[in-house]
Amino acid sequence: MRDEAAMRPYYDEDGCTIYHGDCREVLSELDYDVLLADPPYGIRHPTNYAERGRSNLAACADYAPVFEDDKPFEPRFLLGGYARDVILWGANYYVNKLPAVSGWLVWDKERPEELDQATAELAWTNCVKGVRVFRHLWNGMMRASENEPLVHPTQKPVALMKWVLQLKWVREGTVCDPFMGSGTTLRAAKDLGRRAIGIEIEEQYCEIAAKRLAQKVFEFR
């Protein structure tokens, strides 16, 4: 049964809409052309960055654990056939639950090879042809963009999502991010003049995303 409360927008301005709720309950009620998401990978990613000593090199914070990252992620409900373009970050962790494809995206974070953290991230796609690489420094406080403090433990750069949305194989139209987090995908879509929909189960991130979207100018350094 449709949850009417969940379908009332938390935010709806300038072509960007946010729903506070569980995407499994909301997504089927929405119309969109591209699904671009960074879901929980099911890896129990440690988010206590400061406590673990990463602040010894640069200022960082501890975050609450990523919601539902403590259990295996099931991506099939996001696919909805091939009528829509789908891009899923972190899919190397749950690739056995996805159709085989040749189109993968690689985000090279330009981190030192000796670092014990990942130097790149992967995204599964049902639309991109071949493997495509985006190089953009993202290493603690050393970042090619967005030098202000991060607000989410797995926050990605707006520049990355803009790159994805501008790939020639990704169709135009409304973009949906069912695991919106701090609103990076929506911010990227807005900067590109595209309509966007975000769904987020944690209200604190709905508020953060709304504030990011309210910024008229989002500068990159």
Residue 134's domain is classified under what CATH number? Answer: 3.40.50.150
User: Looking at residue 117, what is its pLDDT?
Assistant: 82
Q: Using an 8 Å Cβ cutoff, are 182 and 205 in contact?
A: yes
User: Looking at residue 63, what is its pLDDT?
Assistant: 67
In a domain, 1, yes or no: no
In a domain, 3, yes or no: no
In a domain, 86, yes or no: yes
User: Looking at residue 46, what is its pLDDT?
Assistant: 66
pLDDT tens-digit map of 72-112: 999 999 997 666 999 999 999 999 999 999 999 999 999 99
Distance of alpha carbon 144 from alpha carbon 157, whole angstroms = 9
- Mapped onto helix, strand or coil, the DSSP state of residue 211 is helix
In a domain, 120, yes or no: yes
pLDDT tens-digit map of 159-200: 999 999 999 999 999 999 999 999 999 999 999 999 999 999
In a domain, 66, yes or no: yes
* Per-position DSSP letters for 126-157, written without gaps between them: SS--SEEEEE--EETTEESS--SPP-STT---
pTM: 0.88
Token code pair at residue 146: 């967005």
- Mapped onto helix, strand or coil, the DSSP state of residue 114 is coil
In a domain, 113, yes or no: yes
Distance of alpha carbon 161 from alpha carbon 192, whole angstroms = 10
In a domain, 219, yes or no: no
Which residue type, as a one-letter code, is found at position 125? T
Q: Which residue has the higher pLDDT, 109 or 140?
A: 109
Distance of alpha carbon 80 from alpha carbon 99, whole angstroms = 12
State how many domains the chain has: 1
Percent helix / strand / coil, the chain, rounded to 5 = 20, 20, 55
In a domain, 220, yes or no: no
| Whether the predicted pLDDT of 68 surpasses 90 | no
User: Looking at residue 130, what is its pLDDT?
Assistant: 97
pLDDT tens-digit map of 29-63: 999 999 999 999 877 776 666 655 554 455 567 76
Distance of alpha carbon 120 from alpha carbon 122, whole angstroms = 7
Domain that holds residue 87: 11-214
Characterize the bridge pairing of strands 85-89 and 120-125.
antiparallel
Distance of alpha carbon 71 from alpha carbon 126, whole angstroms = 25
